[in-house]
């Protein structure tokens, strides 16, 4: 009887389970989910059959980005829309992919179909960019993504000499901090960290971490 059969995808119970054949097959309606491969576990009268990493949800897919033009120097907030972002907050990571690959300063999960990325200042000025998501080990596909563009150049592109040096780093932090303190587009406690990441990005500190 199907009443004695229970199925799980990962740790989540099947939405419904149907007995197809008395001794050979059942059908599990998988719960909503996202991410990497999940185990399938079927229990029949207390006896468990375990198929490791046999189920994989579809990868996240981005269908729209708003706005499509982002000021280079601002901590621009970008809304990302699509599918398979997770039915719960799985701490997605968003990376801006263009001339360089730069992580969003902050990524905020909203729902299975939307999230927000606070973009770092553009390290390379105006260019064609997209966003790639990493959710539970699965990446969205860049070739099917939509694009946005930075609209202007950063003040420190001309004010600071670009090289891997303390002078470059301090110059960018100074310009960046003054700009965002005046603009008030970031929480005061976030400005220094944001500007240090922007400086590391601009000056070429490849191993700088947050």
pLDDT given for residue 197 in this prediction: 86
Tell me which residue range forms the domain holding 105: 61-150
Domain membership flag for residue 209: no
Query: Tell me, what's the pLDDT at 100?
Result: 62
Rounded Cα distance between 194 and 53, Å, is: 39
The per-residue pLDDT for 199 is 87
Question: What pLDDT score does 146 carry?
Answer: 84
Q: Establish if 208 belongs to a structural domain.
A: no
pLDDT, residue 152, reads 66
Number of domains in the chain: 3
Task: Give every residue of the chain whose pLDDT is below 70, as ranges.
Answer: 1-3, 72-75, 99-100, 121-127, 143-145, 152-158, 185, 207-210
Rounded Cα–Cα distance for residues 31 and 49 (Å): 19
Q: How far is CA 159 from CA 77, 117, 175, 178, 199, in A?
A: 25, 27, 9, 14, 13
Strands (E), 74-184: 77-83, 93-97, 101-103, 106-111, 114-118, 128-135, 138-139, 148-150
Pairing outcome for strands 25-29 and 69-70: unpaired
Task: Please check whether residues 50 and 122 belong to one and the same domain.
Answer: no
Residue 68 DSSP one-character state: S
In a domain, 210, yes or no: no
For the record, the structure tokens of 57 come out as 């949800």
How confident is the model at residue 125, as a pLDDT? Answer: 52
Residue 156 has a pLDDT of 64
Residues 18 and 72 placed together within one structural domain of the fold: no
């Amino acid at each position: 009887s199907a009443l004695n059969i229970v199925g799980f995808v990962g740790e989540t119970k099947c939405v419904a389970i149907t007995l197809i054949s008395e001794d050979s097959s059942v059908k599990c309606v998988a719960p909503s989910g996202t991410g990497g491969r999940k185990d399938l576990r079927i229990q029949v009268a207390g006896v468990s059959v375990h198929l490791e990493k046999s189920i994989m949800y579809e990868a996240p897919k981005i269908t729209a980005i708003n706005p499509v033009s982002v000021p280079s120097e601002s901590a621009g907030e970008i809304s990302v829309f699509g599918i398979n972002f997770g039915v719960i907050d799985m701490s997605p990571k968003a990376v801006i992919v263009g001339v360089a690959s730069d992580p969003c300063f902050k990524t905020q999960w909203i729902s299975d179909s939307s999230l927000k990325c606070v973009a770092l200042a553009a390290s390379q000025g105006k260019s064609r960019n997209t966003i790639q998501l990493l959710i539970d080990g699965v990446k969205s596909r860049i070739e099917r993504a939509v694009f946005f563009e930075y609209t202007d150049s950063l003040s420190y592109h001309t004010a600071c000499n670009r090289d891997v040096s303390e002078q470059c780093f301090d110059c960018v932090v100074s310009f960046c901090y003054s700009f965002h303190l005046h603009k008030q587009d970031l929480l005061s406690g976030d400005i220094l960290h944001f500007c240090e990441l922007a400086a590391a990005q601009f000056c070429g500190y490849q191993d700088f971490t947050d």
